[in-house]
Structure 1
Amino acid sequence: MSTTAFISKQIEKLPPGQVFSYSTFLKEPDQREATIKALNRMVEAGKLSKLAKGRYYKAEHTVFGKLGPDLYQVVKDLLEDGGKVTGYLTGYSIYNKLGLTTQVSNTIQIGKNDVRSKLKRDRYTISFVRQKNEITTEHIPLLQILDAIRYIREIPDVPVLSSIVRLNTIVNDLSDSDQKKMAALLLKYPAATRALAGAMFEQAGKDALAKKLHQTLNPVTKYKMPGISSIIPNAENWYFK
């Protein structure tokens, strides 16, 4: 069986939108060039779509046109390494998921322990945010919420106070176990993030967690957030003004 015939048969088994590289079909190292050429010929023939150099997918065709892969597939190789989680989606796509904004962005933000320069893939710009905590599947939902608190001023098309209301509800609705985990993760976030999350914990009656966070703050440092006391009455105790 020729390389092209072998690859075509394997691609038929893949679901639409799944992103893959030439190495997915590489049986022998000396077949690398032949594999890449076969995939590129399939792109030229319209049988495959190319996301970026070395990254391909089988597009789904609908009455509305050709559908590309979802965000996770676009950046999956940047989120996993050998089956181990090394990064997570954060920023604009998560603001939408958390109900903080309806805006959809062409920028994909990824949290990683080691960041790198921005890159382009198809219509997307991919940027990176440094995460000091260990990144695990269990931590990711909490890190996404904490990133939203940290970058609350950057949430598009929504007043900061409205974002605080929504995030306050999200934090209050977490289980006791998740709130404890979040408080531990907060220790590696900037002081302003610890202060805002701590005020939310205190308002929710989580006094023990709030006290630990409060002890990490410098009382001399003040955080400007006009109007926050109308939403979180205890905000002044957390050095907001």
Structure 2
Amino acid sequence: MDRFSRGYVFTYVDFVGKVKSKEALVKSLNRLAESGRIVKLAKGKYYKSELSPFGELPPEQYQVVKDQLDRDGKAVGYLTGLSIYNKLGLTTQIGSVIQIGRQEVRSPFKRERYTISFVKQNTITKENIPLLQLLDLLRFIEKIPDTKIEKSIATSKQLVAELSDQQQEKIMRLALKYQPSTRALLGQCWQI
């Protein structure tokens, strides 16, 4: 377990080939969680917590939901919503809801202190994720807390201006699957 960094979420799979008995591993991990040496995030998911002057830090949101984002090295989902708006500096809020864009959506569920919810999405590839996140920003622009729409549009314009010609063509194709209001806002981002 020393090979895992603090905040890294690990599962039984990370020990395959290193232990002989899965049952013994499960019991051992649960004992470590009960003793406080590791934290149980959800069934079969654990992490070593990191301490700060303000107390115990939770793992990064990506770590909490990475099993919902990647399957066998292929992107099946991506972070969207508050976590992206915060990363872009549009809001200072960090919510207890982690929103994920996926092709097949499911009912929201809880994982420790987080509620994981899903937004229906198409055409998810590792290369498309930043473009889909930008389109989601435009799609939900009125729902971004703690910011003005003008600031969100200015940030969107800056992000569009930084796209390569190939990325600009791709985002226009991806936008065809979004609502007309999102496509209109994207068009406004080209008016600099």
Instruction: Using structure 1 for the length normalisation, give the TM-score.
Output: 0.74
Shift of 1:29: 10
C-alpha distance in 1 between matches for 2:17 and 2:162: 49
Q: 1:146 to 1:36 in 2, by over 3 A?
A: same
For 1:175, give the aligned amino acid. Answer: S
Give the alignment partner of residue 86 of structure 1, picking from 76, 85, 88.
Answer: 76
Give the alignment partner of residue 178 of structure 1, picking from 167, 175, 186.
Answer: 167
Residue 96 (1) aligns with residue 86 (2): yes
Counterpart of 1:160 in structure 2 is 149
Counterpart of 2:65 in structure 1 is 75
Residue 146 (1) aligns with residue 135 (2): yes
Counterpart of 2:26 in structure 1 is 36
Shift of 1:174: 2.3
Two-structure CA RMSD over aligned residues (Å)? 1.9
Task: Return the structure number with greater strand share.
Answer: 2
Instruction: Using structure 2 for the length normalisation, give the TM-score.
Output: 0.92
Seq. identity, %: 53
Contact 2:153/2:189, CA 8 A, preserved across alignment: no
Q: Identify which of structures 1 and 2 has the higher relative contact order when contacts are C-alpha pairs closer than 8 Å and 6+ apart.
A: 2
Shift of 1:23: 2.6
For 1:66, give the aligned amino acid. Answer: E
Give the alignment partner of residue 60 of structure 1, picking from 50, 63, 77.
Answer: 50
Shift of 1:199: 2.7
Q: For each residue in 1:87-137, what CA deviation from the matched residue of structure 2 results, as whole angstroms up to 9, or x when unmatched?
A: 1111101011122222221111111111111111111111111112x2111
Structure 1 residue runs of 4 or more that deviate by more than 3 Å after TM superposition:
26-30
Structure 2 stretches of 5 or more lacking a match? none
Shift of 1:55: 0.6
Structure 1 stretches of 5 or more lacking a match? 1-10, 205-241
Q: 1:123 to 1:45 in 2, by over 3 A?
A: same
Counterpart of 1:221 in structure 2 is none
Please identify the structure whose Cα radius of gyration is greater.
1
Contact 1:17/1:68, CA 8 A, preserved across alignment: yes
